[in-house]
Copies of this chain bind each other. A is one copy, B any other.
Amino acid sequence: MPKAKYESIFRSIKKKIEAQDYPYQSLLPSENTLTAEYGCSRNTIRRALADLSADGYVQAIQGKGVRVIYQPVGKTTFIIGGIETFQETARRNNLRAVTRVIRFGTVSADAKLARESGFSEGDELWAVERLRYLDGKALILDLNYFLKELVPGLTPEIAQNSIYEYIENQLGMQIVTSKRKMTVEHVTMRDERWMDLDGYDCVAVVTNHTFNADGLLFEYTQSRHQPDYFCFQDTATRKK
């Protein structure tokens, strides 16, 4: 349920674009027209259009109009974009998801871990290692560190279902910003031991720093993906 007006307008226009009601390469109605159509101020329309632009749906051209640059995606594999849980992604791609916990414990951040994770030395952390299966194949090896202070009461059972679901629904903590870095690495012995590599000798590695609604770092994760089901999408805008 969209609360903010600009958000419901954003969704409304997005839907029309996806339905190709506003087709690729066409111009949207002008901001003034949309203002009248939705019964709001021009600023509110502009906020919705800015968000559509950030999502790569439209492109504003001064003096001319707002052009639709959205094209429906073809075959989807495993798309990572925005902040999504493993479960959400699996569901969106109609894949059967299973999680297996292969390590669950606590550690104190040493100098090396502090440097790479962004936590402070001495922070008490949960360390969770999980294997993710899609349609019966072990495709993702996750190594999560959570700040115990902000994520109390974690158990192996929760880890086997959805830690994010626990954090958001049980603890009531909101996840807001996620900073990610993507690289490609040679497989390790651990990868070979656990994952269905299917002939690959490399994995896609995503490291992740996650901040809650208070702007506090509470999670550092390294996800190692078998290449077949990995796809990372992005829209960039050039600054003047």
Select which of B56, B180, B201 is within 8 A of A234 by beta carbon: B180
Is there contact, CB below 8 Å, between B178 and A217?
Answer: no
Instruction: For the complex, give the distance between the alpha carbons of A203 and B176 in Å.
Output: 32
Chain B residues with CB under 8 Å of A213's CB are 61
A residues 204-240 near B (Cβ < 8 Å) are 204, 211, 213-217, 225, 227, 230-240
Is there contact, CB below 8 Å, between A239 and B69?
Answer: no
Chain B residues with CB under 8 Å of A180's CB are 233-236
Chain B residues with CB under 8 Å of A233's CB are 179-182
Is there contact, CB below 8 Å, between A61 and B202?
Answer: no
A residues 171-186 near B (Cβ < 8 Å) are 174-186
| Cβ-based interface call for A54 (8 A) | yes
What is the total number of copies of this protein in its complex?
2
User: Given the known A-B contacts A56-B179, A61-B215, A202-B227, are A232 and B232 also in contact in the complex, defined by CB atoms under 8 Å?
Assistant: yes
| Cβ-based interface call for A83 (8 A) | yes
| Cβ-based interface call for A39 (8 A) | no
B interface footprint on A34-56 (CB within 8 Å = 1, 0 otherwise): 00000000000000000001101
User: Given the known A-B contacts A200-B202, A233-B181, are A238 and B71 also in contact in the complex, defined by CB atoms under 8 Å?
Assistant: no
User: What are 20 A-B pairs at a CB distance below 8 A?
Assistant: A54-B54, A59-B177, A67-B214, A74-B115, A82-B236, A177-B238, A178-B237, A179-B235, A181-B233, A182-B182, A182-B231, A182-B232, A182-B233, A182-B234, A184-B204, A184-B227, A185-B227, A200-B202, A202-B227, A234-B234
Q: Beyond A83-B237, A181-B232, A186-B227, list 12 extra A-B contacts (CB 8 Å).
A: A3-B240, A7-B240, A59-B177, A77-B183, A177-B235, A182-B232, A182-B234, A183-B204, A183-B227, A185-B227, A200-B202, A201-B201
